[in-house]
Structure 1
Amino acid sequence: MTPGTDVAVVGAGLTGAATAWALSRAGHSVTLFDTYGFGHDKGSSHGSSRIFRRVYPDALYVGMTGRAQEGWRELESESNTTLLQTRGGIDHGRSRDPQALAAVAAKHGLTHELLSASEARERWPGMVFDGPVLFQPDAGVVNADLSIGAFLGVARRNGAHLVPHTPVDAIEVFHDHVVVHAAQAVRARRVVLAAGGWLPELVAACDLPIRLPRLRVTQMQVFHFRQRDPGAVFPVLVHKDRHQVFGLPSGVDGGPEPAMKVAQHDGGTLTTASTRSGHIDSDGRNVITDYVGQWLPGLDPEPVAEGTCLYTSTDDEDFVLDRRGPVVVASPCSGHGAKFAPLLGEMIADLVLGRAVTHPRFALDRDIPKNSR
């Protein structure tokens, strides 16, 4: 057995990498395992663009976005890397209720504007609107690939032991410690399960005494569309009508010319992390290309790039952040967790160290209404 560590972390996506960062900067020894290479594209954390936004209908998440924004700036300072680029964001659509979102924004002191459709079209002539539009200037784009590199770089500098290409085969749970069996056995005071879409498989394979809420793993599709006017500035967008669609600047994922990443938040193909196909569904592509043709005339409706990723979703779309003995379960996903990564690392570290109790909204055994989702 190798020498012990304070905390073993399983999974080096955004959540696991942020956890290693938060624990190591607090002076704790960390060993981080990932089955694949760091920054791989098989899960939920890869790519050059993830949405950061402050607007939520839910006060809990509005507050968390503010703390996460501070965390991104701290990580940027520690890593000397720009990770969050502010762009401004809009919410619109008959099922999005911009007026109600504006009321939440006002209650929480967020700078915002509620625009008419004509005012929004004048500001963003490459977009179509059919009702009121909420604009919030703090929204932007997080580069997930660079963020994982920044978290891991700082963690390594702080002494974390990073172990890629090493699957975890078993976890033995004792009263006050665990033994993680990977290439070698590692004794740790605590273990964090941050395996994303692999979490249900990991818990089952290791026969852990943990009952997870229902987690739906779905393969999602994203498409990148070239801007007709390379100089146009598109905001981050959330549009909820017949489908729930989001869009944001693509970054390098969209190729050498300015492009927008556009995708469906709802839908997806039910799968597992180990069996997902990675194949693009033509019907899903048609939904998005039709959407772009109707709502985003400033984009060429033929995708210049496309890809897949995983969602791991609870029925209520809240996160799972909870502890059972020496085991911390971290599944802050449901398609909206990336923006919170620095804050989540700190929250998970607090659970590991006993500095906080589980928020009831994020508990493993919370009561989830049957009509959720």
Structure 2
Amino acid sequence: MESTEYAVVGAGLSGAAAAWQLAARGHDVALLERSTPANDAGSSHGSARIFRYAYPEEFYTGLVQEAKTGWDELARLSGKQLITPTGAVDYGSIRQPERLAAVLAARGIDHELLTPDEARRRWPQIAFDTQVLWHPDAGVIDAHESVAAMVDQAGTHGAELHNNWAVASITASNGGYLLTSGDGRTLRAANVIVAAGGWLPQLLGSLPLPPSFLTGMPRIEVRQEQAYHFPYADGTDHKAAPGPTFIHKREDWQAYGLPGGRDAGFRGQKVAQYNGGKVLPSAAEQDGKINPDNRRRVIEYVAEYLPGLAPEPYAETTCLFTNTPTEDFILDRADGITILSPCSGHGAKFAPLIGQLAADLASGAGPAPDRFRLAALAQTH
């Protein structure tokens, strides 16, 4: 029977990052993926995820700054442009642009706070309704290429990728763990890192974790989100100058948008209602179906607030968000099992750093931030 020092379950952004970091440190690593890395059924597929520094508190903004070092290193090693610079605008009555600006100022990040008229003159394709935060160092992450780059780096350092290896159970065995796949294959591992995203809820019950650890687990909500690609109203692809990403939050509506990149054939923008999809028991129950009411609401939003787009989507897709009540990540360890869930729809930008933190925690080289440990999460849910 095959054995390994570390088995990483899930080859999305977080799992691939953890495998890369562990393998680069000389550890024996097996990366187990239920399908193939960054496949369409998970949370890490496609070419369009927002990279931004704007958060309402310094904790996350500081982590983005740390993560950027890892992104730069991965770009150097892979020879790929993984983040396309576009800048970002943040606005809306509950987005608090002034507060975001104060955080960026405290962290020394370039930004401007604009009036709605100033912003409309600069970006006439957006109808702004409040003050606007602009920070030019934001951009768009190519999630699929980033996963591929991290898997490649893990393999360069000796990690083995096992595609089509869906973990059905993990049991304690001889001081380590026995992992069994859905088709009966087995693997022994001294340590396990579970980075299963939307499949985490269904795996939790089969993990040999202490009851006290499991009782501290926050409620995990899996949503099947829906996103739509709208063409530019002027009919061009804007590949050379795609325009900024945006986050717009009002009391009754939260939307985000970004250049669709390769996913949209460079023809338009990807727009979605934040957490507008249906709640699922786990990722296994996703059906890939678009809710017609959600489509209608997003079309109406585009018609009112995004005059630079033609309000008729030419493509649409679903994806998974895996949320905690506080939107904080889960990164904690009990015995030889590390739970790694950088989730809640905003984890992509942290991937290289999350991989480092997971490798530190799993190997005993260092702690995870207290905020991501179950004891802290249990106090806030």
Task: Please tell me the TM-score bracket, short chain as reference.
Answer: over 0.9
Q: 1:281 to 1:33 in 2, by over 3 A?
A: same
Question: Does the 8 A contact of 2:358 with 2:368 survive in 1?
Answer: no
1:249 maps to amino acid: P
How many matched pairs? 369
Q: Which residue of 2 aligns with 1:226?
A: 231
Secondary structure of the 1:40 match is coil
Match of 1:239 among 230, 242, 248: 248
Which residue of the other structure, out of 285, 290, 297, is the alignment partner of 2:295? 285
Question: Gapped runs of 5+ residues in structure 1?
Answer: none
Instruction: Say whether 1:319 aligns with 2:329.
Output: yes
1-structure distance, mates of 2:379, 2:243: 37
Question: Which SS does the other structure have where 2:340 is aligned?
Answer: strand
- TM-fit CA distance, 1:141: 0.3
For 1:196, the equivalent position in structure 2 comes to 197
TM-score (norm: length of structure 1) = 0.95
- Other-structure match for 2:16: 17
CA distance in 2 between counterparts of 1:185 and 1:199 reads 19
Matches within 5 A, 1:208-227: 208-209=209-210, 210-211=213-214, 212-227=217-232
Q: What secondary structure is seen at the aligned counterpart in 2 of 1:169? A: strand
1:49 matched residue in structure 2? 48
Equivalent AA in structure 2 for residue 61 of structure 1: Y
SS at match of 2:110: coil
Name the SS for the 1:280 alignment partner.
coil
- Secondary structure, in 3 states, of the residue corresponding to 2:205? helix
Q: 1: CA distance between counterparts of 2:303 and 2:168? A: 48
In 2, the alpha carbon distance for the partners of 1:334 and 1:28 equals: 29
- Within the candidate set 287, 290, 309, 2:319 is matched to 309
Q: Conserved in 1, the CA contact under 8 Å of 2:50 and 2:141?
A: yes
**Is contact 2:242-2:259 (8 Å) kept?**
no
Alignment of 1:1-373 (within 5 A): 1-2=1-2, 4-173=3-172, 176-182=175-181, 183-206=184-207, 208-209=209-210, 210-211=213-214, 212-229=217-234, 230=236, 231=238, 233-241=242-250, 242-255=252-265, 257-271=266-280, 272-368=282-378
Q: Secondary structure at the match of 1:6?
A: strand
Measure how far apart 1:208 and its partner are.
4.2
CA distance in 1, matches of 2:157, 2:242: 39
Secondary structure of 2:37's partner? coil
C-alpha distance in 1 between matches for 2:46 and 2:322: 17
Deviation readout 1:62-111 (Å, 9 max, x if unpaired): 00001111111100111111111111001001111111111111111111
Question: Matched residues in 1 for 2:169 and 2:242: separation?
Answer: 49
What runs of 5+ residues in structure 2 fail to find an aligned partner?
Answer: none
1:178 shift after superposition: 1.9
The amino acid that maps onto 1:270 is V
Deviation at 1:129, TM superposition (A): 1.0
- Counterpart amino acid of residue 13 in structure 1: G
Q: Is the contact made by 1:316 and 1:368 (CA closer than 8 Å) also made in structure 2? A: no
Identical residues among aligned pairs (%): 45
Aligned Cα RMSD in Å?
A: 1.6
Q: Residues of 1 paired with 2:358 and 2:185: CA distance? A: 25
SS at match of 2:284: coil
Matched residues in 1 for 2:207 and 2:125: separation?
51
TM-score of the superposition, structure 2-length normalised?
0.93
8 Å Cα contact 1:316/1:369 also seen in 2: no
